[in-house]
Amino acid sequence: MEYRETIPLKDGRTCVLRNGTEADGKALLDIYLLTHEQTDFLLSYPDEAGMTVQQEAQFLKQKTESPDEIELLAEVDGSVVGAAGVGRVGGKVKVRHRADFGISVDERYWHLGIGRALTRACIALAKQAGYEQLELEAVADNERALALYRSEGFREYGRNPKGFRSRLTGWQELVLMRRELREPAAREPEAEEGSSALVQAAMAYVQDLFQNDFGGHDAAHTLRVYHNALAIAEAEPPCDREIVALGALLHDVDDHKLFATENNENARRFLTAQGVDGGRIEAVCRVINAVSFSQNRGRRPETPEGRIVQDADRLDALGAVGIARTFAYGGAHGRSLEASIQHFHEKLLLLRDELNTDTARRLAEKRHRFLNAFLAEYGEETRA
Ligand code: NI
């Protein structure tokens, strides 16, 4: 397949994404050797390359001539700094719908947007080639890569604890991910009394984005925050209810614990695609940025909408739901029960006194008491 696109990089330079051709054999071998020397997250070691410049050239020629495979190169200032490929899993009828995806970028060019651009181009090319599923494997410790893939629609479907054996670190767990390439079938929007088409689209968006989260940030969490926020808004002085609704629904879509996006990229992309005007996008982003606990210790959000959504999110960290989420998050991040208990003292028990609205304070009272009752019982049962 053939491809060519020029993209701006975060440092002001431009990058050309293009299919590699026969003439790029040496450049491809060089970037392969370099990237495989730089990181322990890729499949092979430089001494295992096993390809000559001529073989790489032949490989690129075949990919360019292929109707459904491609090797993309990323070029900055005339040199190749990264590569990514889409290849078929197999030719048999039962697996023809599946394609593999792999990527590597010279570490001196990380954090410029090249990885994301290569990923998006490969997704588009895989769709164009008629595949229905794009697959990848990534080392579980490669958190930045995993966050990038998640934010581009890949979903984890399994793990292989002994997937790689590194010469340096021993076993490396592999995360298996897949991305649907077919457009999702039109969803029956959850019938919400009085909610606009935009709010319903946001609901569908988060239900899809968080469908595979088992760490306490699933779509159900977002929907509870949305309902809590509307309930608080109802009881508090007038505010913009649609900004509250959108801020609540999108409050976790760029959470740094879950996604590697910057500057509310996921939220902005969604709202822009929905035709929301710039001023309202900024208003929603202000709400989202006011929600984070760690970034806002002791600071009261400036807008009423921000204060409401922050309270709504904090309510979901209290009570029985808060307890369930704390252990789910801890388990998903390899934390012991004791470490999760510690989190009650470091965060959860402090939340009641940091709420902004009277309505949320009232709702929090019972939930806060329940946390204390739980801790007392837990302490009694675990005392030696
Ligand atoms: Ni949240």
Domains of the chain by range and CATH? 4-180 (3.40.630.30), 197-382 (1.10.3210.50)
pLDDT (0 to 100) of residue 293: 57
CA distance 326 to 322: 6
pLDDT (0 to 100) of residue 193: 56
**Number of C-beta neighbours around residue 275 at 10 A:** 7
pLDDT along the chain (384 residues), means of 10: 94 96 95 93 88 94 96 96 96 95 96 95 96 96 89 88 94 94 59 73 91 86 95 90 96 88 92 93 94 70 94 96 96 92 94 94 96 96 87
* Radius of gyration (C-alpha) of the chain in whole angstroms: 24
Alpha carbon of 295 to ligand 1 centroid (Å): 13
Alpha helices in the chain, H assignment, sequence order: 25-38, 53-65, 114-128, 143-151, 197-209, 219-235, 241-249, 265-273, 278-291, 304-315, 319-332, 337-343, 349-351, 358-382
For Cα atoms 365, 367, 373, give the angle at the middle one, nearest 5 degrees.
105
pLDDT (0 to 100) of residue 143: 86
Alpha carbon of 217 to ligand 1 centroid (Å): 6
pLDDT (0 to 100) of residue 336: 94
pLDDT (0 to 100) of residue 57: 96
pLDDT (0 to 100) of residue 187: 46
Alpha carbon of 254 to ligand 1 centroid (Å): 10
- Residues with CB under 5 Å of ion ligand 1 are 252, 313
- How buried is 216 (Cβ within 10 angstroms: 0-12 exposed, 13-18 middle, 19+ buried)? buried
Residue 368 φ/ψ, nearest 5 degrees: -65, -45
pLDDT (0 to 100) of residue 186: 47
Alpha carbon of 142 to ligand 1 centroid (Å): 24
**Number of C-beta neighbours around residue 370 at 10 A:** 16
